[in-house]
Amino acid sequence: MQAVRKVREFSQAGAGLVAALVLLAGCLSGCQAIGEAERPQSPSQAAGFAPGTEEAFMLDVGRRIYFAEGSAELDAESRQIVLRQAQWLNTNTRWLAKIQGHAQEPGGEAANKRLSERRAQAVYDLLVAQGVDPRRIWTKGYGIERPETDCDPADCPRMNRRVVVNLREEYDDTAPQR
């Protein structure tokens, strides 16, 4: 008899414990749902920037595309960045974009200038192929004129093989005459 009573007490206590755990799990899932709803949807929102801003472009999409040494071909990773840029630019049509090509030493100044122009053109071509209005974008090759200097010396050469897509509100003096 005493054994039966102990089993009943344990069952009732167990049922209470189970009910408490179910209640706690429900509260936690409700809190989690609220937390997820309030959680920022993108890095720019987490930093407090509104969608469609230059900061949102830089944080959510990325404005730098890197190239292999001596190359103006987009690799798979770089291509994905440009595709995200195209999608963003097609959504945020108020922005213009200056596509700046860069190169690294070694090599002659003229050769690096041409390479930087080809890199910028590769990004331009893919943006246009993805529906970005070509009147909103233009290219400029800087060659080795504007090297990255705030970097580890071992990383600087790779960082100088880049294209930077900079948003503009109006055309600058490097834009083709419209």
Written as tens digits, the pLDDT of the chain (178 aa) is 444 444 344 444 444 444 444 444 454 455 455 455 566 688 888 888 889 999 999 999 999 999 999 999 999 999 999 999 999 999 999 999 999 999 987 778 899 999 999 999 999 999 999 999 999 999 999 987 887 777 777 777 788 889 999 999 998 888 886 5
Distance, CA of 92 to CA of 114 (rounded, Å) = 31
Asked if residue 173 belongs to a domain, the reply is no
Q: Structural domain of residue 96, as residue ranges?
A: 54-168
Asked if residue 112 belongs to a domain, the reply is yes
Query: How many structural domains does the chain have?
Result: 1
Asked if residue 34 belongs to a domain, the reply is no
Q: What CATH number is attached to the domain comprising 160? A: 3.30.1330.60
Nearest by Cα to 85 from 154, 146, 165: 165
Asked if residue 91 belongs to a domain, the reply is yes
Asked if residue 92 belongs to a domain, the reply is yes
Asked if residue 122 belongs to a domain, the reply is yes
Asked if residue 9 belongs to a domain, the reply is no
Q: Cα torsion at 65, 67, 71, 74 (round to 10°)?
A: -60
pTM: 0.75
Asked if residue 14 belongs to a domain, the reply is no
